[in-house]
Structure 1
Amino acid sequence: MNRRSLPLPPSPLRPSPPLPPSPPSPRPAAQQTATQAVARVAAVPAVQQVGSAALQLGASCAAFNLTLAGAHFAAGCLRISCATPLLGPLWGLASVASASAAAGTVSRATLASLQVAAAAGGDGGGGGSGGGGLRGVLAAWPEQLVVAVVGGGREAAVDAVLGALLFKLLLGRDFSRLLPSDLARPGAFGRMHVPTSAAEYSTAGEKAQLSVIFGRDGCHHCGTRSNGVIGDHMPPYKVVRDTVAAREAAVGLEKLLAQAASAIGLQDHSLKQVYFAQCRGCSGKQAQLMRNGTRSTLLPGLWPPHLVAHTPARLAGRPALPGVLVGMRYYIGAAVRPYGRGPGGSGGDKEAGATHYCTKVCPTNLHRLARDPWALAACTAQKTAFITSSAASAFPRVGGKRLQLQLHAGLGYLVLVLAEGPSFVPRPE
C-alpha cells in the first residue's frame, strides 16, 4: 500500500534583525562643500567680470581665426596662392578685414548675451556681468548674433578697417602669407633661405642651417615642424630647365631683348637657386608634381594639385591680436559706459544721472523681452528694441531708477531713458 506523504506545515517567519545604519560617506559632503566654495567664488563681482571678459575676448579670437581659415581654403579652391601677384595680397587683405568684422560682431553678440543672462539672473549691472550663468549666455547668443549681424553694418565696417591696420602695423605681416603655398615657388613660411653651393645636394653646414630655420619657421610650404627637414631648391630644377629652354628657343623681339640685356651686362637673378627648409611630405608632393603635374588630393577637381594648405596647427595658431583688440573695444565701451550704452545715443539736452538710448524699432519679436527691462536695455544698446507702445507703462521703475519709454512711430525710433532726476525724454537723432 502506497503511502502519500503529507505536506509539512509552514514554519513561522522570523523577522530579520535590522541592519545597523551605514556611516555617512565623506565624499558627498566634500563635493557639496567644494560646490559651495566654487559658487561663492563665482559670485564675486571681480570673478564674474574676469569670466565675462575671457568669454567675450575668447569668442572674438575664435571668430577671427575661423574666418581666416575659411578664407584660406576658399583662396585655394579659387587657385589663389601666396605667390599670386596682386590677387594674393588683395585676398589676404580682404581675409583680415572679414575676420576682424566677424570678431567684432561676435564680441557684440556675446556682450549682449551676457547682459541678457545677467538680467535673467537678477543682476542689474551693465557692462557684461556674468550673473546669469553660462547656460543663459549660450541660450541668448544665437538671437543676439542675428541682431548684431543685421544691425551692425557701421560697426562692422569700422572693425574691418581697424583690424587690417592693426594686422599690418602691429604684427608687420604680409597679407599674402595667409594664403596657401605654391609648390613651384617659395611658400608662405619661407622667411629665410640658405645660398646653394656648387654641390648638387646640400652639404653638412647647409643642412645645419636649414635645421635651425626648420625648427623656428617650419616647412616653408605647409608650416609643419615635424617629419624631417630637406633642402628644397627654389626655383626647382625643372622650372629652371624649362625656362632656359624657352629662352633659347625664343625668336623675334624676345630674343633681341635677351641679347641686348646680355650685351650691356644685365643679369637675370630669377633663376638663381637657394635652399628653403622643407618637410618630407611636401618634398614628395613637389617631386610628383614636377614629374607629371598632378598629385592625389582630398578634394579632387576642386583643390588644385600645385597648392599646399597650411597645417591645422598653423591655421589655429595664427596671431589673433587684431581680433582680440577689435573685440576688446566693445568690452571697454561696456565697462566705461553704464548699462551697456553704445553707439547711437540720442541728441538733445542731457541731464545729470541719466542714461539715454535711442534705437530703431524691430518689427518682429516685439513682446519677447517685454517682461525683462534689463534685457530690453541690452537689446537697445545693440540697436534693436523688443517693445511696443502698449508695454511702455510696464516698467515704471528699474533698480531704483525710473524707466521711461517713448515710441516714435513716425520716425521708427524707440527712446529709452534711465534717469534719477525729473522726467526727461530726449529727441532722437
Structure 2
Amino acid sequence: MGVDEDEVARDVGVGLATFMALSRGNLGRILPSDVSRVGANAYKSIAARGSDYASEGQKKTLQKWFKKFGCHHCGSSKGKVIGDHMPPNKTAFGSGARAAANRGASTTRRVFNFIRGVPLQRFYPQCESCSALQSIAVRTGATKLVSHAVGVRYAVFAGAAVGVSTLHFGTIKTWVDDKVKRINGVVRA
C-alpha cells in the first residue's frame, strides 16, 4: 500500500497550523519542559531581588497569572502558586548555602554578585509538584521533564482538525485554491 505524499503533507500542515493557532505560535509546547529552565508555558514574570523569596505583593501577582496561564512548566493552575526563581538559586549562586547567604543582601553584596556574574533572576508562577521535582533536579543535577497539560489539549484539537480536513478535503482544497488564485491575481495586478 503506497503513501500519498500530498495527503501526508496536508495532514501535517493542518495539524501544525491548528496547533500554532491554539498555542499562540509556541511550538515548544509539543515537547516536555526541563524543570531547571524556564517552561514553555511562561507568559509573564516579575523581577526577583536576588535569592529573596517572593514578597506578598509579588505572590498576589503570581497567583493571578497562575490562575490565568497556569504553571510555567506544566500548565496546571491547581493548588498553591510558588514564586519560582529562574535561573534557580543553586544555579545562579553556585550553591544553596551561597543563595541563602545572599537573602536580604546589602547593596555592596549585590554589586559583588554583579561583578561575579550572578545572573539576574525572575519569578515565574509554578505549581507545587513542579517545584518539588525542580528541587530534586537542581540538587542532583538530573534532567527532569514535565509534559504540558495545555499542549496535550491543543494536540487533541489539532488531531480533530486533521480528521475534519480529511473528511472535507475536496471542499477545503477548492476553497483554498480559490483564495490562492485571488491573492495571486491581486499580487500580480
- Normalised to the residue count of structure 2, the TM-score between the two structures is 0.66
The one of 128, 133, 137 equivalent to 1:280 is 128
- Paired residues of 2:50 and 2:120 also in contact (CA < 8 A): no
Within 1, Cα distance between the matches of 2:17 and 2:26? Answer: 12
Are residues 335 and 164 of structure 1, via their aligned partners in 2, closer, same or farther at CA, if it must alter by over 3 Å?
Answer: closer
Q: Going by fraction, where is helix more abundant, 1 or 2?
A: 2
The one of 33, 39, 51 equivalent to 1:187 is 39
1:357 equivalent in structure 2 = none
Q: Give structure 1 stretches of 5+ with no counterpart.
A: 1-148, 244-266, 295-305, 337-429
How far has the Cα of 1:166 moved from its partner?
Answer: 4.6
Encode CA deviations 1:111-153: one digit per residue, 9 max, x unaligned. xxxxxxxxxxxxxxxxxxxxxxxxxxxxxxxxxxxxxx74433
Within 1, Cα distance between the matches of 2:52 and 2:130? Answer: 20
1:81 equivalent in structure 2 = none
**1:33-52 equivalent positions in 2, closer than 5 A:** none
- Paired residues of 1:221 and 1:278 also in contact (CA < 8 A): yes
**1:27-426 equivalent positions in 2, closer than 5 A:** 150-168=2-20, 172-197=24-49, 200-242=52-94, 271-294=119-142, 306-310=143-147, 313-318=149-154, 320-333=156-169
Larger radius of gyration: 1
Displaced runs of 4 or more, over 6 A: none
Within 1, Cα distance between the matches of 2:134 and 2:46? Answer: 19
Are residues 323 and 289 of structure 1, via their aligned partners in 2, closer, same or farther at CA, if it must alter by over 3 Å?
Answer: closer
* Secondary structure class of the residue paired with 2:80: coil
Paired letter, 2:11: D
Within 2, Cα distance between the matches of 1:319 and 1:151? Answer: 23
How far has the Cα of 1:335 moved from its partner?
Answer: 7.2
Are residues 215 and 270 of structure 1, via their aligned partners in 2, closer, same or farther at CA, if it must alter by over 3 Å?
Answer: farther
- Paired residues of 2:74 and 2:130 also in contact (CA < 8 A): yes
Encode CA deviations 1:341-380: one digit per residue, 9 max, x unaligned. xxxxxxxxxxxxxxxxxxxxxxxxxxxxxxxxxxxxxxxx
Are residues 288 and 165 of structure 1, via their aligned partners in 2, closer, same or farther at CA, if it must alter by over 3 Å?
Answer: closer
- Paired residues of 2:84 and 2:124 also in contact (CA < 8 A): yes
Percent sequence identity is 30
How far has the Cα of 1:199 moved from its partner?
Answer: 7.4
- Paired residues of 2:23 and 2:154 also in contact (CA < 8 A): no
- Paired residues of 2:37 and 2:87 also in contact (CA < 8 A): yes
How far has the Cα of 1:168 moved from its partner?
Answer: 3.5
- Paired residues of 2:19 and 2:154 also in contact (CA < 8 A): no
How far has the Cα of 1:178 moved from its partner?
Answer: 1.8
Are residues 223 and 162 of structure 1, via their aligned partners in 2, closer, same or farther at CA, if it must alter by over 3 Å?
Answer: closer
Within 2, Cα distance between the matches of 1:236 and 1:333? Answer: 49
Are residues 239 and 318 of structure 1, via their aligned partners in 2, closer, same or farther at CA, if it must alter by over 3 Å?
Answer: same
- Paired residues of 1:207 and 1:231 also in contact (CA < 8 A): yes
Within 2, Cα distance between the matches of 1:189 and 1:173? Answer: 12
* Secondary structure class of the residue paired with 2:139: helix
* Secondary structure class of the residue paired with 1:155: helix
- Paired residues of 1:213 and 1:277 also in contact (CA < 8 A): yes
- Paired residues of 1:222 and 1:308 also in contact (CA < 8 A): no
Give me the CA root mean square deviation: 3.2
How far has the Cα of 1:183 moved from its partner?
Answer: 1.7
Higher normalized contact order (CA 8 Å, seq sep 6+, divided by chain length): 2
Paired letter, 2:41: F
